Amino acid sequence: MPTSIMTIKSKLDSHLGDSLTVVARAGRKKVTKRRGVLKETFPAVFVVDLDQDSNNFKHVSYSYTDLLTKNITLKFD
């Protein structure tokens, strides 16, 4: 697991346009899985365009600290 936000951002920059699954903890014993494409990276957040078949909204953003603290995990295809 990368140890800094800059290394996380640089690793995500190399996966722009790749499809992925985001597994997010949504509370006690709740997990949400969303499929999409890594669209953009910004200095503090990254944006995932979601599959419209299984989601009600178009895109979602997460911060790099979510990855650092293991609140979410990413699985690239």
Q: For residue 14, give the CATH number of its domain.
A: 2.30.30.100
- Sign of the torsion formed by the C-alpha atoms of 7, 10, 15 and 19: positive
Residues 60-70: what's their mean pLDDT?
Answer: 93
46 band by pLDDT with thresholds 50, 70 and 90: very high
Rounded Cα gap, residues 70 and 62, in angstroms: 12
Per the structure, the count of domains in the chain is 1
pLDDT higher than 70, residue 17:
yes
The β-bridge partners of 55 are none
Rounded Cα gap, residues 12 and 68, in angstroms: 13
Contact 72, 62 (CB under 8 A): yes
Residues 40-64: what's their mean pLDDT?
Answer: 90
Domain membership of residue 15 as a residue range: 5-76
What percent of the chain lies above the pLDDT cut of 70? Answer: 97
pTM score, two decimals? 0.86
